Structure 1
Amino acid sequence: MRAELSGGRTAGRDTADDLARGLGVLSLALGSAELAAPSAVARLAGVRTGGPTVQAVTSLYGARELVQGAGILSGRGTARWVWSRVVGDVLDVGTLAVGAARRGAAPARLGWSLAALAGVTAADVMTARGLSRRSGAAASGVRAVAAITVNRPRAEVYRHWRDLEHLPEFMAHLRPVSTDGSGSSHREAAGPAGSTIRGDAEIVEDRENEIISWRSVKDADVQNTGSVRFLQAAGGRGTEVVVELRYRPPGGRVGAVVAKLLGEEPNQQLRDDLRHSKQVLEIGEVVRSEGSPAGQSTRRQLAQRPAQPVA
């Protein structure tokens, strides 16, 4: 596996992530206000008179906002949660118009409220589209999964993977990783046919001893997302490491086929790198021979001979 796992925390996220986080905070704030003072919120929006119905509807919408805000900030299924806000925006406009017509309206406040809703709806739609495009791009790529059991505690295995600058010790294609004070990282990796792949990545989920998830930034040569999970192995046999990778190969599907023929296909790399990681953790070094010092490669296997220690 190449530098796809060499991502680090970054000080800034892309525009869609920043907007999504802001919308999540807005949902929590608005939902709290609607639950705490439903009549006051209704009057502020332009509905002159309250009542049990207005209070109940406003409180219900407040609960909806809280759920949506929590969903967005959880970082799971963010695009779906933001799209649910778009649906809620349409519902808010319709409800506000009906409520104002039935119970009287303060024209100035109603106008400001509708203008604010229009602006928020535009932000919701733009954010949802950006997140959906990115998710769709990752989902449409190639998927690779591999797993291995390491006879070491989960905490030790997690630290081994989380130390970004040490990843090249067991990732044959990865060149030295550079990091800065903010936690972001830049890496280069050997690609198919002697090419070089460059790009940055960021960690989007990091739960100690459980999971590390990452994604590439938009300027990376190869767009990719993935995760490493650390599970308790059955029978007290240490830690099961499960790696999942999705990427968009250069040249599309044709490029993926060519890479596989050249022995540079991610499923092969995943298996090799997991085996190397296990060797480093259990015996302190990667066991290699002169025949395949950098792991399996079709070009090297074409000229086989008895294995010898690396010079």
Structure 2
Amino acid sequence: MSAPYDEHEARGLARALGWMSLGLGTAQLTAPRAVGRTAGVDDSPVIRALLPLVGLRELTHAAGLLRGHRPTRWAWTRVAGDAMDLAILGTALRDRRGPRRQRVAAATAAVAGITAIDLYTALRARAAAGGTGDLHLRASVTVNRPRAEAYRHWREFGNLPRFMTHLRSVDDIGEGRTRWTAEAPVKSTVSWEAELVEDLPDELIAWRSLRDTGQGPGVSSSGSVRFSDAPGGRGTEVRVEMTYAPPGGRVGAAFARLFGEHPEQQVRDDLRRFKQILETGEVARSDARPEGFRARGFARERPAQPVA
């Protein structure tokens, strides 16, 4: 199949999903009670209140997909929305009996089918665009410390879990190699090995992950940290660039965002904590310790206090 035909097919699928979103969103926004009764969740005031919000989400998807601008991104947002809907319906299915349970089961099956279509469309759109599923991240921070000190603290890889909250450990295994263990979505962990590819004292640290280490799939990643003098003698500018394939590809990344694990925000938060450690010797957090875009953390947020 030729590349132009692939792109035409992907855009056609995206437009079809756009019309589906338009229909679903209109129904959920204008007749939430009828939709709730059909789905068997009309006995839940919370879900009834959520249906118009879900309808607004569907109309947003429809606008993006029908406009034809970046269909890959909008298709993946539908996959993420489907995951949220399935989680809500799964909870409803456990709590219901009789005819209402049958209606919830039918609605769950229908959403599962739509999810499969959304996932297929997203994958086709990515293939047509020549995407690999890799994420490219960039972030920077200015630290009021000399370059040598900033470089030295980062180069001591055992320090990384102090400010990279998703890292469990980084162990030096010799010959320029390290073993990394990190938290993954849904309270799991992932491990991989990496090697230094460039190490210029006080200037640059570059690395890449190793494949076929016998330790499972791990994480495919590469990146660099550059240290340069900040303008006006304000210390050191630290720039991070990373490329990595998240476990599960774009699907894994989309699901991770649902639980507040936005990768680019993680890097920015890590750099902010790196700055705090070098400048004050400790990381200041709220009592709720919010990380990234975790709404449940912000809901419990309190004035920041130094970590004991």
Provide the TM-score with structure 2 as the length reference. Answer: 0.52
* 1:292 CA drift (Å): 1.3
* 1:284 CA drift (Å): 0.5
Q: Which amino acid aligns with 1:244?
A: E
SS in 1 for 2:195: strand
Residues of 2 paired with 1:255 and 1:191: CA distance?
10
1:179 pairs, out of 130, 147, 172, with: 172
Residues of 2 paired with 1:307 and 1:296: CA distance?
17
Q: Which amino acid aligns with 2:239?
A: V
Map of 2:196 onto structure 1: 203
2:181 pairs, out of 172, 182, 188, with: 188
Map of 1:224 onto structure 2: 221
Residue 166 (structure 2) pairs with residue 170 (structure 1):
no
Q: Which amino acid aligns with 2:300?
A: Q
- Structure 2 contact 227–238 (Cα < 8 Å) conserved: yes
1:282 pairs, out of 279, 282, 290, with: 279
Map of 2:240 onto structure 1: 243
* 1:138 CA drift (Å): 11
Residues of 1 paired with 2:140 and 2:298: CA distance?
27
- Structure 2 contact 207–224 (Cα < 8 Å) conserved: yes
Q: Which amino acid aligns with 2:169?
A: P
Provide the TM-score with structure 1 as the length reference. Answer: 0.52
- Alignment length, in residue pairs? 174
Residues of 1 paired with 2:298 and 2:276: CA distance?
26
Residues of 2 paired with 1:217 and 1:194: CA distance?
24
Residue 292 (structure 2) pairs with residue 296 (structure 1):
yes
Residue 212 (structure 2) pairs with residue 212 (structure 1):
no
Per-residue CA deviations over 1:148-175 (Å, capped at 9, x if unaligned) read 0001111110001100111111111111
Map of 1:152 onto structure 2: 145
> For the structure 1 residues 255 and 167, does the alpha-carbon distance in structure 2 shift closer, same or farther, using more than 3 Å as the test?
same
* 1:139 CA drift (Å): 7.3
Residues of 2 paired with 1:201 and 1:265: CA distance?
23
- Structure 2 contact 210–220 (Cα < 8 Å) conserved: yes
> For the structure 1 residues 229 and 189, does the alpha-carbon distance in structure 2 shift closer, same or farther, using more than 3 Å as the test?
same
Give ranges in structure 1 of 5+ residues lacking alignment. Answer: 1-136
Q: Which amino acid aligns with 1:239?
A: T
SS in 2 for 1:255: helix
Higher strand share: 2
* 1:210 CA drift (Å): 1.0
SS in 1 for 2:284: coil
Map of 2:47 onto structure 1: none
Question: RCO (CA 8 Å, sep 6+): is it higher in 1 or 2?
Answer: 1
Map of 2:11 onto structure 1: none
* 1:258 CA drift (Å): 1.5
Per-residue CA deviations over 1:239-258 (Å, capped at 9, x if unaligned) read 10000110111222222122
> For the structure 1 residues 245 and 139, does the alpha-carbon distance in structure 2 shift closer, same or farther, using more than 3 Å as the test?
farther
Map of 1:271 onto structure 2: 268
SS in 2 for 1:296: coil
Residues of 2 paired with 1:176 and 1:234: CA distance?
34
Residues of 2 paired with 1:291 and 1:272: CA distance?
15
Map of 2:231 onto structure 1: 234
- Structure 1 contact 138–224 (Cα < 8 Å) conserved: no
* Backbone CA RMSD of aligned residues: 2.3
Residues of 1 paired with 2:131 and 2:285: CA distance?
34
Per-residue CA deviations over 1:223-250 (Å, capped at 9, x if unaligned) read 0111101111111101100001101112
The 5-angstrom pairing of residues 77-156 of structure 1 reads 141-156=134-149
